[in-house]
Amino acid sequence: MNQKNNSTADLDLILAVENSVTGRSWAARPAEHRIVQAIAQNHNLPEIVARVIAGRGIGIEDADTFLKPTLKEMLPDPSHFKDMDKACVRIADAIIAGEKVAVFGDYDVDGATSSAIFKRFFKALGQDITAYIPDRMLEGYGPNIKALLDLKAAGHNLVITVDCGIVSFDPLKAATDAGLDMIVVDHHQAEARLPDAVAVVNPNRLDEEPGFGQLAAIGVSFITIIGINRELRNRGWYKQQEMAEPKIIEWLDLVAVGTICDVVPLVGINRALVSQGLKIMAERRNEGLKALGDVAGINETPGTYHAGFLLGPRVNAGGRVGRSEAGTILLSTDDPQEAQSISTELNTYNAERQAIEAMVLEDAMGQVQRKIGVGGVVPPIIIAANVGWHPGVIGIVAGRLKEHFSRPTIVIAIDDNGDAKGSGRSIMGVDLGSAITAARQSGIISAGGGHAMAAGLSVRTENIDALDDFLNTRLSTTVDEALTSLSLKLDGVLSLGAVQPDLVERLDQVGPYGQGNAGPRFAFTDVYISYVDVVGKDHVKCSLKGPDGSTVKAMAFRCADKPLGRFLLESRSKTIKIAGTIRNNLWNGRTSAEIFIDDAAE
């Protein structure tokens, strides 16, 4: 590995790259040699794998737990969380009395998995629970007064909100005033004020002890179900019913999918939940996930990539452009035919979503580039808004713009009445959720909230400029600080000859990878581009050759019209440096390792 470039005082540069094609330096993740050697020896690991572990801040004493995360060690007692015991008592009362109960979920993957796990729990008890997923276009995000009062009128006595509800003050007050018991199971950032409810279970309550704020709603839902199950056991209900307790552990596949797709940090308890959940997913017990995997063409052991990029978008598609409840129904059904039918439906919705997304992205990109101008300064926060944009794709488009401009981005869809819905995505180091909450408290937006990396909002058209000013003023310093530290973190330098399936398998021991536990990235030097072309819409496919004659296939995604893609396309028959991740690809029964290119340099 090349050591520090003398012209860059504070960075340990890889291959002396200070300004890559994408404008980033290539910085080595700090990894003390002594710790790397000890981890490698204690766990019989290749040094490069031990370096990856040490580069994530894992010490010698913590390496074993990191490599083998277990729920037994990491799962908290449900009673650790405030209001959890209240919630479990009330839900157990409803189960024992046979009350009519509803779960009110969000329309994204986290909400769908959370709703589905409650459906499966009640079904395992021989009972039913109504799942209500609001229509994104007609009702928007979170509980609304009409829906809750309709549930009350239909005979429901208790409603559990999942992945929503923490700032739904007016709807929950109206429901409570009407005699409907409410329980909130959420993970979004809370305020000092809590909504009217029997219980509010949220690891991100301001009065909650720190340690589990990284949980997605599905993680909180899973722990809540463990608590309800314990409450029923302690009351002797299972014995009275002559019924075996449900095998809650079998639903960890849902927990893994929801956690991965909500892009929460895969550290601590989340790491254990996802690690164990992926093992159960590989057993294909859930009819919905099995059918969806078949439609998505997954023919290998599923990992975070499959959940996040193949399964998640299809589950989401129902809430974005189709039936909002389709994902919940799919993940909770045990009927293979129903699962196949809904999976096909969601696959169709996903294709429709991709087409709509492409149109909105092109429009939004043009709007932002015109606003910045040729050679202009990119603002700290990017906001794009227009009439007619589909609200179901604005979050994805915000993510694409964030990747392109390296700035927190909000995309807003305006309807004909001047009401607008916005979705935002942030960069590391900038808490967008807190800023959106502050904008709501300041009266600039009518509703909004989220977490550090993603947020949603409702705003009147005439207040969009005020929101733009508010966020750029509030976050400009934070964004500048985040950009100053922006670099591509790499775990070392590899030769192309080292890119082999067995190395990928050893690196997989350090997974699951995701937000908070970035997949290992490596630099490759003296890479000869023997073939390069555009495949699909805008992906760039390459064949690489190393000095020793080794050849590796590589792919750079969604970049044909961006600096990285153009550079690769212009580098045919040239020798360059690249940086990226490696993963195995199974094709026609043969496994080969390939590179996913993130960056390049001359």
How far apart are alpha carbons 565 and 184 in whole angstroms? 46
Q: Which of 125, 123, 127, 126 is nearest to 99 (CA)?
A: 127
Left if phi > 0, otherwise alpha if psi is -120 to 50, otherwise beta: which for 444? alpha
* Whether 349 contacts 342, CB under 8 Å: no
How far apart are alpha carbons 595 and 579 in whole angstroms? 9
How far apart are alpha carbons 104 and 115 in whole angstroms? 7
pLDDT for 588 equals 75
pLDDT for 6 equals 34
* pLDDT lower than 70: segments of the chain: 1-11
> Amino acid letter at 560?
A
How far apart are alpha carbons 418 and 412 in whole angstroms? 11
pLDDT for 450 equals 85
pLDDT tens per residue across span 401-445: 998 898 999 999 999 888 899 999 999 889 999 999 999 999 999
The residues pairing with 523 across neighbouring beta strands, listed in sequence order, are 493, 579
pLDDT for 368 equals 96
CA dist list (Å): 418 to 349, 388, 403, 424: 27, 11, 29, 19
Cα Rg of the chain (Å, integer)? 25
Helix, strand or coil for residue 460?
A: strand
Please give the torsion angle defined by the CA atoms of residues 341, 347, 350 and 355, in that order, rounded to the nearest 10 degrees.
Answer: -120
Q: What are phi and psi of 119, to 5 degrees?
A: -60, -45
Helix, strand or coil for residue 96?
A: helix
pLDDT tens per residue across span 456-502: 999 999 999 999 999 999 999 999 988 877 789 999 999 999 999 99
Q: Which of 440, 424, 466, 463 is nearest to 167 (CA)?
A: 440
DSSP 30: P
Helix, strand or coil for residue 1?
A: coil
* Whether 229 contacts 245, CB under 8 Å: yes
> Amino acid letter at 264?
V
Q: Which of 150, 139, 148, 138 is nearest to 169 (CA)?
A: 148
pTM for the structure as a whole: 0.86
Q: Which of 129, 130, 193 is nearest to 166 (CA)?
A: 193
pLDDT for 569 equals 96
How far apart are alpha carbons 518 and 214 in whole angstroms? 15
How far apart are alpha carbons 372 and 406 in whole angstroms? 14
Beta strands in 324-408 (DSSP E): 382-387
pLDDT for 239 equals 96
- Give the sign of the dihedral formed by CA 360, CA 361, CA 362, CA 364: positive
pLDDT for 11 equals 54
Could you tell me the two tokens for 568? 């690769």
How far apart are alpha carbons 54 and 47 in whole angstroms? 10
Burial 426-446 (b: 16+ CB within 10 A, else e): bbeebbbbbbbbebbeeebbe
The residues pairing with 429 across neighbouring beta strands, listed in sequence order, are none
How far apart are alpha carbons 310 and 416 in whole angstroms? 34
How far apart are alpha carbons 385 and 420 in whole angstroms? 9
